[in-house]
Amino acid sequence: MRRVFAAVAAALLCASGAGGVPLPGVNQDVIDSDAMPQKLSAFGLFHMGDPKVPLARVGYTLRTPLFSDYADKQRFISIPAGKKAAVAADGTIEFPVGTVLVKSFGWSDVGGGRPVETRLLIRRAGGWTALPYIWDADGKDATLALGGRRVPVTFKSPDGEVHRIRYAVPNKNQCKECHSLNGEIVPIGPKARNFVVGDAASTYFENPAALKPVMPVWDDPRTGSVADRARAYLDVNCAHCHNPAGSASNSGLFLRWTDDAAGVNYGIGKRPTAAGRGSGGMDFAIAPGDAAHSFMIYRLESTDPGIAMPEVGRSTVHREGAALLRQWIAEMPKGGLKATGGKSTP
């Protein structure tokens, strides 16, 4: 699927309009309206001859992506003609009204590499709207699924293990749960520190020099220490809820990459907010030097709905990600960590 999506991304850049010229097929009127079309094709975001080929203006990747049951993802953006995005001082990306963020999920061994689901995040005049679409059996279009759905999927993880899951397409409320900041829906993936875009940056961004993807790649030791890569992983997979303005703010556990010091509020020596199965009877979210008795690991390695974290977005355990966090915790001196500029070093 990575090769399939990479080829599609290359095609998308070749098909892109330049200098704000409208692209054929993109239905900006539907995008700008309050409509929630039953079919994905109504937006004109995919080529009419092959709906798997996008017509959006710019594709992008993330240095450290969110884990979603080992799915490969194709990401791209449609920005209205004559408008540009901007990078704010805090590194968030401000997209103009009429923008659509598009993310497709699929596996190379499912449906011949066709996407299973495509999610739209649309910037309309009243704010962001999240719409999930499930691809039809013939792969020619996708159907709106506001109520979510479970889709049977069989695939192999990188270690060769066969997984048979009921892949969870989120309902509209679950979209808001993860994409919520101060009660409003916002994008969570595209941030300057983690956002990689090609040559189109100067065309579609007011200040392209501010796009500095400095976050480590979680599984590439060349990009950062174990501690920094573990923190990048937690930022992407957990911090959209675990921040002072997120849906898990009442937990007191804040996991942003550079904004939260590596102390008690980061989970180090932090006791459970409330007793329950989620702690597994353990005393601390992170017990320095003792990953086996850190309930953060216990929750990451569980698929039990009453225990697993994140609560939505996965039906399998990300073994490689959990192994990185285990190594990070195991390398911590039992006396704790020093915090340096929001990053942690043993």
The average confidence (pLDDT) of the chain is 84
Please, what is the Cα angle at 108 between 103 and 113, to 5 degrees?
Answer: 65
Q: With beta carbons less than 8 A apart as the criterion, state whether 95 and 79 touch.
A: yes
More confident residue, 96 or 21: 96
Single out the residue of 26, 64, 65 nearest to residue 42, CA to CA: 26
Name the band, by pLDDT with cuts 50, 70 and 90, for residue 345.
very low
Single-letter code of the amino acid located at 67: F
> What pLDDT score was predicted for residue 342?
36
pLDDT at 166: 92
How many other CB atoms are found less than 10 A from the CB of residue 273? 14
**Mean per-residue pLDDT, 141-170:** 92
**pLDDT tens by residue, 277-336:** 888 889 999 999 999 999 999 999 999 988 998 888 889 999 999 999 999 999 999 865
pLDDT tens-digit series, residues 98-124: 999 999 999 988 877 889 999 999 999
pLDDT score for 24: 58
Dihedral over Cα of 255, 214, 105, 298: its sign: negative
More reliable by pLDDT, 292 or 51: 292
The pLDDT value given to residue 344? 39
Q: Are 249 and 243 in contact (CB under 8 A)?
A: yes
Tell me the pLDDT tens digit for each residue of 52-101: 666 666 889 999 999 999 999 999 999 998 999 999 988 889 999 999 99
Q: 127 in helix, strand or coil?
A: strand
Q: What is the pTM of this model?
A: 0.86
Which band of pLDDT confidence, cut at 50, 70 and 90, is reported for residue 258? confident
Do 307 and 278 meet the contact criterion of CB atoms below 8 Å apart?
yes
Q: Percentage of the chain with pLDDT > 70?
A: 84
Q: Closest by alpha carbon to 278, among 267, 288, 289? A: 267
Please report which confidence band the pLDDT of residue 268 belongs to, taking 50, 70 and 90 as the band edges: very high
Residue-range domain boundaries for the chain: 2-210, 221-345
